[in-house]
Amino acid sequence: MESLLIITVQEKADLLVRSLKKLAAPDVSLLESDSSIYNFVQTAGTDFPIFLGFGLAESVIAEFASKFKKKAWFAVAKDFSEEMMAVHHFDKVPALVSFHPKYNDQSVFYGPFEGKFLEEFIQQNQLPLAVPINSETIKSLTDDERKIVLAIVEDELDEKSMKLAKTLRSTAAANRDLVFGYVGIKQWEEFVDTFDSSKSSKLPKMLVWDRNEEYHLVVGSESLDEEDQASQISRFLEGYREGKTIKKRVSGPSLLGFFKSLISIRTVYLVVFVAALLMLMQHLSNRRANDHPQVRQSEVEPELTERSTSESESRREDYQPGDKED
């Protein structure tokens, strides 16, 4: 129990350090070499998306870097090699590269860098192209107004589901007006239940969720077969845009409702964590209190023994068997 709490405390401390580091960083970092780019990416970690401008003036992204400071890292590189261009998959400048280290997901924007286009790119790339829906990522979805194309699978970690996720990413790149996501019944059954889906349903199941109480099934494209899923997803989107849909209501909370319920659950977890931490501190305090007298006793006992020995020797010196008092 103690070791588990220590690990939890360490994780919380690491998260706090990363968050403070993010807030303390400048809105836009200036990078002047390949090594500084590498170090910036390593320091940023995997908790936030990263936006790197190549051949781009700091002033171009400064406004949006300030606006999205709590949600993403921003930097501009002045000097960089062709090797760095290859690493980040862009072939001309100026370019703004967005990537999510956690999901190995990357996009490149070549402009225009004026008006709403740049802000749309930054806003849309706060999320990876295909979002694994879970208690962490659903928080990010609350800040995005796009409807969600959702693929429901049995286990998002099996080989078939990972192949589907790759196909969703390719499709999402050409349909940025929608968010593409996937969720496994094994990973989050409670969430999947709200769309009348279970392991007995024909999977993968496709739908479009409006983020509130309604979702749409596309007639003839309710589920996917294993072969040529890219073409099937294209037909699904075509049917959705043409209005060939069946409207249904979710049997659970909306996206905001899910988020609020997660906040409530996290509050409970936080209370339990604090209570457990206090119990651990009390336990350690009591153990130290119990150990302290033993230390003092061990220090006192040699003193008493030494004193008794000295007194005994003194008496023996004062009295000798051959002495006789008159």
What's the confidence (pLDDT) of residue 295? 44
Spatial CB neighbours of 137, under 8 Å, sequence gap ≥ 6: 127, 131, 181
Give the separation between CA 203 and CA 46, rounded to whole angstroms.
Answer: 31
- How far, in Å, are 37, 76, 191, 269 from residue 54 at the CA level? 11, 6, 40, 43
Domain identity same for 133 and 229: yes
pTM of structure? 0.72
- Kindly state whether residue 70 falls inside one of the protein's structural domains: yes
Residue with the two structure tokens 């062709």: 82
Q: CA angle 51-54-57, nearest 5°? A: 90
Domain identity same for 147 and 206: yes
Q: 105: which strand partners?
A: 100
- Kindly state whether residue 213 falls inside one of the protein's structural domains: yes
Kindly state the tokens that stand for 78. Answer: 């002045």
- How far, in Å, are 8, 222, 253, 256 from residue 185 at the CA level? 27, 17, 17, 20
Spatial CB neighbours of 245, under 8 Å, sequence gap ≥ 6: 208, 216, 217, 218, 219, 239
Domain identity same for 58 and 139: no
What's the confidence (pLDDT) of residue 47? 87
Domain identity same for 156 and 29: no
What's the confidence (pLDDT) of residue 186? 96
Q: 207: which strand partners?
A: 150
Domain count, the chain: 2
- Kindly state whether residue 7 falls inside one of the protein's structural domains: no
Beta strand 214-218 pairing with 205-209: antiparallel
From the number of C-beta atoms within 10 Å of its C-beta (0-12, 13-18, 19+), residue 246 rates as exposed
Domain identity same for 89 and 145: no
Do residues 181 and 148 touch, judged by C-beta distance below 8 A? Answer: yes
Domain C-terminal end among 106, 126, 146: 126
Domain identity same for 102 and 149: no
Domain identity same for 53 and 66: yes
- Kindly state whether residue 290 falls inside one of the protein's structural domains: no
- Kindly state whether residue 65 falls inside one of the protein's structural domains: yes
Domain identity same for 113 and 147: no
Kindly state the tokens that stand for 277. Answer: 């931490």
What's the confidence (pLDDT) of residue 12? 59
Q: 148: which strand partners?
A: 179, 209
User: Would you give per-residue pLDDT tens digits along the chain (326 residues)?
Assistant: 444 344 445 555 666 676 677 778 899 999 999 999 999 999 999 989 999 999 999 999 999 999 999 899 999 999 999 999 999 999 999 999 999 999 989 999 999 998 799 999 999 999 999 999 998 888 888 888 999 999 999 999 999 999 999 999 999 999 999 999 999 999 999 999 999 998 889 999 999 999 889 999 999 999 999 999 999 999 999 999 999 999 999 986 544 454 444 444 455 455 566 666 677 777 676 666 665 544 444 444 444 445 454 544 544 444 444 444 44
What's the confidence (pLDDT) of residue 191? 93
Domain identity same for 106 and 140: no
Domain identity same for 100 and 146: no
- How far, in Å, are 5, 59, 268, 271 from residue 264 at the CA level? 21, 41, 6, 11
DSSP 223: B
CATH of the domain at 137: 3.40.30.10
Give the separation between CA 5 and CA 281, rounded to whole angstroms.
Answer: 11
Question: Which of left, alpha, beta for 128 (phi over 0: left; psi -120 to 50: alpha)?
Answer: beta
- Kindly state whether residue 294 falls inside one of the protein's structural domains: no
Domain identity same for 55 and 30: yes
Domain identity same for 34 and 133: no
Give the separation between CA 264 and CA 260, rounded to whole angstroms.
Answer: 6
Domain that holds residue 60: 24-126
Give the separation between CA 220 and CA 216, rounded to whole angstroms.
Answer: 12
- How far, in Å, are 10, 44, 56 from residue 314 at the CA level? 59, 75, 92
Peptide bond into 132 cis (omega under 30): no
- Kindly state whether residue 164 falls inside one of the protein's structural domains: yes
